[in-house]
Amino acid sequence: MTAAISFDAVEVGTALPDRDVTITRVDLIRYAGASGDFNVIHWNRRIATAVGLPDVIAHGMYTMAQAGRLVTDWIQDPSALVEFGVRFTRPVPVPDDDAGAIVRYSALVAEKLPDRRVRLDIKAVHADATVLGRASAVVQLA
């Protein structure tokens, strides 16, 4: 199965719709349960700050998954995601309030490849700082 987005309809520089994701402590609890990652820095402020973090932090894989979701929602077919990778550059502190932490995800077509594939460069920014580095995906388009 291939993506609903057409290879011919995109050019280098084509932007995906930006997405703001609010991450709350409840999201961290749900993700910990789903992933099995109960590392104390994701739920205990005292321990998180004792090891030098500004607060409880979001799971890196959770922030990565949200970047992946931006891509798969755009291509409308998760199986069209051929490659996906990031580097974790900064933590996302998640305050103990109802506002949470907001991460803005954006992406653009960086390169058109053979076989109707495109490489996307992805950005994830929280509080004016990039939280995922070298974030990219390759997708197979129709």
User: Which stretches of 27-113 are assigned E, i.e. beta strand?
Assistant: 81-88, 101-113
pLDDT > 70? residue 2: no
pLDDT of residue 4: 81
- Report pLDDT digits (tens) over 94-139: 999 999 999 999 999 999 999 999 999 999 999 999 999 999 999 9
Where are the chain's structural domains? 7-23+58-140
pLDDT of residue 3: 67
Q: Token pair 């402590």 is at which residue? A: 25
Pick the CATH number of 7-23+58-140 from 1.20.1730.10, 3.10.129.10, 3.90.1640.30, 3.90.1170.50: 3.10.129.10
**CA separation (Å) from 36 to 7, 25, 28, 32, 65?**
38, 16, 11, 5, 15
